[in-house]
Structure 1
């Protein structure tokens, strides 16, 4: 292995089963998060609902994903509980894929997507938390690889769905005329691209006539059943790991390999806390654990969460509205051409995470974060300057995806390192990122609706400046927190030296 030193490679060989399991679970996460946008019009036909009604499934998925990220920290006491949670959630995703074709009412579909969102949120927190716990100071490179698998799943999902999407109206009526029976294929393509960003721009596309009553002729069910089969090896892999590590209830508890391996591989923190801080979002607020902490300890949590709130919000907003911006004045790009922007953005994020797997080994997390956040600001400023250039919009979209791709895993590794790997930082950061992705899209969508499409670039640029300023604040607070920790350890050493003298007098 020429790219990695022997220590990193030996760590991976030691924990490869757990690591590959967490990576595969994130593939399942990505597979589930990307299918809804392309298939939403066919699902509207299946449920025979209006466009306004069907977009509630987006909110249902996003809201319960946020709930799941917070609840995922509850699986914290043992690795066995984490693996059982991963097995349940990945299996639930396959079951949801299989059940979606049977949901003939929009309420049932919303419930199915809420269950899937809850499972995705738990996967998000558990996989991040356990990888950090497993590798600690060497976790950055493995977190980059973990988040690469989200992009991989998000690329596979639309490819599976596309051959089964309706090219014309998927609801047919016997007494409609040829001119009124359906929207044109270009209109449907426009709708799909507009809805690909979680359906937040519904007000701008509601003028398209879409029939409800008639015969449903969609074939999208086959796409979901194929995705259910593609995802099925993931829970099977988790179950195989559970069986291999003798964590099943029928196994001999005295021979549980994974618990023994964890005890030998996880060193205690400088404060003597051997991972007991890993918990839910609310468990992190336990007064007994927070007593005596310096103010900088709490500020690190708040600022780290705020940075991911901003950056993941930028990702969600850009993916959600770049198509709307492209087809609006002054660019007036063709619907089909503009539809490639969102795909290019997610593809560049996936490629960027693949590249940062190696870069995170060569460079520290603060350096990577500085490079990424400065790059995001420069690209956003250039997009504002060349706002009439179609070519630069594509170039800027790809560069933006490359720059912003590593922020989440790098920030997670950096914050956990500053807080001595208590684990609570993972839950707080994952929950903050999910909140930002949902809330910032709603904010940017309302600004675009009232101020026009150019406000989209302006909002993203302002957000990127705020994110960089918060990162500078984080570096300053880190310096103060390190000094406080050093002074505290020196005082502890002095007290330990004085104790023998006091006891002898």
Structure 2
């Protein structure tokens, strides 16, 4: 059969929650991709310099990390998690609506800090709850969850594109003398800044005006995205009402008391842990005293691998255009500008394909395939650095290979640690940190050593990531041997599969 009956039965049992978590990740994806294409129009709207407007990148990314960390500090009850998700998705719609009213760069930075915090909370909580919901079967549903990030990231640039200014969106008295030469430079600058979170190193030579008549129409794009996103908090609210998680609306007890949301049996010790008064019980110092060193090492290694792989994604998306327009490729602005879109589209397609592959194969095999594929593809791009054709082929293959690493590793690590929930927070925060730090590091190396080091950095990072994964497999074996003999401690990394492997 194309779909396993047991998985289908689990999905039918939890479809409301699953679709809710998937939809909030679509909201997350909308926020990821809108800033790069619209940044020049937002510069005009705020009448700020390029150096000033690039601070909004930092504002969003820093508060995304903060939100990811805060997401792990909430009590992992369903009612509190859904309440936070409802508030976060509503905040995203409200911020989209008020961004056109932010006519100063400080106000815009504050608005994007709010979206960053909301994104971080969504990232941690939705991953946590989906893992808690499906446990050993979560890999398939996590792949679908992260597919919706890519879907949202594809939608927002498409919405924004018709409203972006084709020339300077701030007109002043000597506009007629500069208009003829501004369009190519603006197109080049827009592509340079379109990578997620990318801040160009040398942008002072672009003579863009800050005073004059503002002609941008980007406000309509943000209002449209606010309307697209608005049904999502409404859907979360309806789910809470349906499940009687809003005591002010229904005096009846929650439906959860009659129907457990776990796909596996919860032991008595786990129940006592869930009812513990500590906000983040699995990181309670009292509970950590008896843990073997392998427990902490597994968290560290999982976070380190995602630090590397999400860092590769962020740096590649941020600097592939810069590499393509530099020698020896020297591609045209418009052609090179397609590379970033090809990369994100291939990541989205890869996550869609891995939904089925996660059902057929174990997380271990998929991670080995993905990480080895990332190494081989980046080595081929490095060897064929002079080929304009292969940079497109390599970009597509890299996106397909690296797309599944985060959801697979999250499911695999939580599986090893018996779904305590702590790993999700560590992995999500590490991934976001790596994405930000590696972009800065790779950008600095490119600026000082030349564009070729962009490819070399990716290859080195890929080998480090795979080496860390091999070490993770070794530590997992040690950790399994350290556990007491009980049904709960049976190795769950090789889950039973229907079909040949």
State the TM-score, normalized to the length of structure 2. Answer: 0.94
Shift of 1:180: 2.6
- Correspondence for 2:316 among 309, 318, 323: 318
Tell me how far apart the structure 2 counterparts of residues 86 and 278 of structure 1 sit (CA, whole Å): 23
Tell me how far apart the structure 1 counterparts of residues 331 and 262 of structure 2 sit (CA, whole Å): 58
Mapped contact 1:346–1:401 kept (Cα < 8 A): yes
Shift of 1:274: 6.3
Q: Deviations along 1:65-93, whole A, 9 cap, x unmatched?
A: 00000101233341000000000000000
What corresponds to 2:68 in structure 1? 69
Q: How does 1:54-453 map to 2 (within 5 A)?
A: 54-173=53-172, 175-180=173-178, 184-198=182-196, 200-252=198-250, 254-262=252-260, 265-268=263-266, 272=270, 276=274, 284-453=282-451
Shift of 1:181: 5.1
Mapped contact 2:55–2:109 kept (Cα < 8 A): yes
Q: Does the C-alpha gap of structure 1 residues 311 and 273 become closer, same or farther in structure 2, counting only changes over 3 Å?
A: farther
Mapped contact 1:72–1:280 kept (Cα < 8 A): no
Bigger mean CA deviation after superposition, 287-296 or 251-260: 251-260
Shift of 1:263: 5.7
Shift of 1:203: 2.1
Tell me how far apart the structure 2 counterparts of residues 447 and 459 of structure 1 sit (CA, whole Å): 9
Q: Does the C-alpha gap of structure 1 residues 422 and 153 become closer, same or farther in structure 2, counting only changes over 3 Å?
A: same
Tell me how far apart the structure 2 counterparts of residues 316 and 30 of structure 1 sit (CA, whole Å): 14
Shift of 1:20: 0.2
**Does the residue aligned with 2:274 lie in a helix, a strand or coil?**
coil
Shift of 1:209: 1.3
Mapped contact 1:133–1:266 kept (Cα < 8 A): no
Q: Deviations along 1:242-279, whole A, 9 cap, x unmatched?
A: 11001113244653113532366452259646663999
Tell me how far apart the structure 1 counterparts of residues 303 and 217 of structure 2 sit (CA, whole Å): 42
Shift of 1:182: 7.4
Mapped contact 1:277–1:284 kept (Cα < 8 A): no
Q: How does 1:486-497 map to 2 (within 5 A)?
A: 488-489=484-485
Q: Deviations along 1:430-479, whole A, 9 cap, x unmatched?
A: 01101101111111111111101111111111000000000000000001
Tell me how far apart the structure 2 counterparts of residues 405 and 446 of structure 1 sit (CA, whole Å): 25
Q: Are 2:35 and 1:36 equivalent residues in the alignment?
A: yes
Q: Deviations along 1:24-82, whole A, 9 cap, x unmatched?
A: 00000000110000000000000000001001000000000000001012333410000
Unpaired stretches in structure 2, ≥5 consecutive residues: 490-501
What corresponds to 1:497 in structure 2? none
Tell me how far apart the structure 1 counterparts of residues 262 and 381 of structure 2 sit (CA, whole Å): 51
**Does the residue aligned with 2:75 lie in a helix, a strand or coil?**
coil
Mapped contact 1:373–1:468 kept (Cα < 8 A): yes
Q: Does the C-alpha gap of structure 1 residues 148 and 274 become closer, same or farther in structure 2, counting only changes over 3 Å?
A: farther
**What RMSD over aligned residues (CA atoms) do the two structures have, in Å?**
2.0
Q: Are 2:50 and 1:51 equivalent residues in the alignment?
A: yes
Tell me how far apart the structure 2 counterparts of residues 21 and 337 of structure 1 sit (CA, whole Å): 38
Mapped contact 1:269–1:421 kept (Cα < 8 A): no
Bigger mean CA deviation after superposition, 71-80 or 299-308: 71-80
State the TM-score, normalized to the length of structure 1. Answer: 0.93
What corresponds to 1:500 in structure 2? none
Q: Does the C-alpha gap of structure 1 residues 263 and 159 become closer, same or farther in structure 2, counting only changes over 3 Å?
A: closer
Tell me how far apart the structure 1 counterparts of residues 387 and 308 of structure 2 sit (CA, whole Å): 26
Tell me how far apart the structure 2 counterparts of residues 406 and 365 of structure 1 sit (CA, whole Å): 10
Shift of 1:184: 2.2
**Does the residue aligned with 1:74 lie in a helix, a strand or coil?**
coil
Tell me how far apart the structure 2 counterparts of residues 271 and 452 of structure 1 sit (CA, whole Å): 56
When Rg is computed on C-alpha atoms for both structures, the one with the higher figure is: 1
